[in-house]
Amino acid sequence: MRDQLGSTWSALAAVPSLFWVDHSDAALRAVAWAGFALSCVVAAGYANAVLMAALWLLYASIVHVGQDWYGYGWEIQLIETGFLAIFLCPLLDGRPFPRRAPPLVVLWLFRWLIFRIMLGAGLIKLRGDPAWRDLTALYYHFETQPIPNPLSRSFHFLPHPLLQAGVVFNHVAELAAPWLVLGPRMLRRLGGAAIVLFQSTLLLSGNLSFLNWLTIVPALACFDDAVWSKLLPRALVERARRAAENARPSPAMARTSWALAALVGVLSVGPVLNMLSSQQIMNTSFTPLALVNTYGAFGSVGRERLNVVFEGSDAAEPDEQAEWKPYPYRALPVDVERRPPQVAPYQPRLDWQMWFAAMGSPERYPWTLHLVWKLLHNDPGALSLLGENPFPERPPRYVRAMLYRYRFAAPGEGAWWKREPLGLWLPPLSADDARLRRFLADAGWLDDEPPGR
């Protein structure tokens, strides 16, 4: 990219990231562990603007170089949320109850964020799949969503009138509640409560990474101290009351918050025009820093669940008479007897990528061939992304990828899933396959064979 754009500074402006300084594995681990350590400090109640800015910079650095693996809407949503959080805090005072109150302007910017998140998601549904308009979307969603959880099957088999009512509630939460967020106190509370309740139902019914938890965060700005005083422990409420009494205004924070509001206003033009457009796109940044973005989710709903399963064999000939052992994912269904796990807010990124890949072809997801190469060599890094290695002693001779259609088995039928094979997604490949080696070499992926072979 540096060569294409002409200079390091041009590349940095296009893809802002600390990894322009050092992009080694050690640097990646250092950034991740530093982010974890600083997050623990914040979770303990200590935060200032410097600390929040450091967290924002660390995570944004990962997202901006993560390509497909970090191309999800909640990544840029976390960047935007984290950026606003910087300005809630005093510059240096990191105590849980500092002398400077959070600027009201920044709280309104959080309300503006939740407004855009929810309304964008609602509009993309109305303009997208007709199942959202005829109220049948939830007939399919719980079964075909990326990663079902233990309760997804129960939701899937609810009576159709209840599922239709669920779609209506979806529209209320995404199309009506956002407008209440911008209203006076009582309406704002009502809108915030509807959004939090809606996100809670999504938490119960699926594994959507940390999206729902993250979306609840700006919705909390809809509730004032009178609400929190009834929900939080009395000791905490009393400490907050005393802090409010002793708070002193900060002209610097006030000026900074108004400058931030002006910046967000200017950067909101693109996202607002996008929401008004009949060609609305979702989960897109309009600037390299991703400070103000457009959002949306499930503009289309799959009618069937397809799943790619990698399988290995030690047989001399890779035909149907060979014994093929599946590589189970961490969360995607493979074994029909396995209950869907609860993994959110953790995101098994390979599983998510393979959910998309099952709706496409290897040509659109060429990295799957690199994964096959890794499996043919029992590569520890690649295997760590999967649930289990069916060839612990030595690598398989062949690896293929099969495409299956999965459906929930009804409660009481014994298994969790039913499946039927649809055919090969990738043909059987071996480590000495000339076509595979040529493709990997052209892509720059043909490393020296790992010692596992």
**pLDDT of 193 higher than 90:** yes
Higher pLDDT, 320 or 218: 218
Give residue 1's pLDDT band: very low, low, confident or very high (50, 70, 90). low
Q: How far apart are CA 111 and CA 114, in angstroms?
A: 5
Print burial letters for 168-186: b (CB count within 10 Å at least 16), e (below 16): eebbebbbebbebbeeeee
Sheet holding 325-326, edge to edge: 325-326, 305-313, 398-408, 417-429
pLDDT mean over 127-143: 97
Q: pLDDT tens-digit profile of 310-319?
A: 999 999 999 9
- The pairing of strands 293-294 and 284-285 is antiparallel
Mean pLDDT over each residue of the chain, to the nearest integer: 95
Q: How far apart are CA 146 and CA 206, in angstroms?
A: 8
pLDDT mean over 117-134: 96
- Tokens of residue 148, six digits: 């079902």
Contact status, residue 307 vs residue 358, Cβ threshold 8 Å: yes
Helices (H), 206-268: 211-219, 225-231, 234-246, 251-267
Give residue 39's pLDDT band: very low, low, confident or very high (50, 70, 90). very high
**pLDDT of 93 higher than 60:** yes
**pLDDT of 191 higher than 70:** yes
34 backbone dihedrals φ, ψ, rounded to 5°: -65, -45
Give residue 10's pLDDT band: very low, low, confident or very high (50, 70, 90). confident
3-state SS of 338-361 is CCCCCCCCCCCHHHHHHHHHCCCC
Looking at residue 3, what is its pLDDT? 65
Q: How far apart are CA 399 and CA 378, in angstroms?
A: 11
Contact status, residue 274 vs residue 281, Cβ threshold 8 Å: yes
**Residue 420, Cβ neighbours under 10 Å: how many?**
8
**pLDDT of 4 higher than 80:** no
Contact status, residue 443 vs residue 370, Cβ threshold 8 Å: yes
Give residue 5's pLDDT band: very low, low, confident or very high (50, 70, 90). low
The region of weakest confidence among 310-314, 376-380, 406-410, 443-447 is 443-447
**Residue 104, Cβ neighbours under 10 Å: how many?**
10
* Nearest to 324, CA basis, from 398, 379, 385, 405: 398
Looking at residue 2, what is its pLDDT? 64
Q: pLDDT tens-digit profile of 337-357?
A: 999 999 999 999 999 999 999
Higher pLDDT, 390 or 9: 390
pTM of the model: 0.94
The region of weakest confidence among 141-150, 246-255, 334-343 is 246-255
Q: How large a percentage of the chain has pLDDT more than 90?
A: 92
pLDDT mean over 49-77: 96
User: Residue 117 in 3-state DSSP?
Assistant: helix
DSSP one-letter code for 336: T
Looking at residue 7, what is its pLDDT? 72
**Residue 226, Cβ neighbours under 10 Å: how many?**
9
Q: How far apart are CA 308 and CA 369, in angstroms?
A: 13
Q: pLDDT tens-digit profile of 147-156?
A: 999 999 999 9
User: Residue 330 in 3-state DSSP?
Assistant: coil
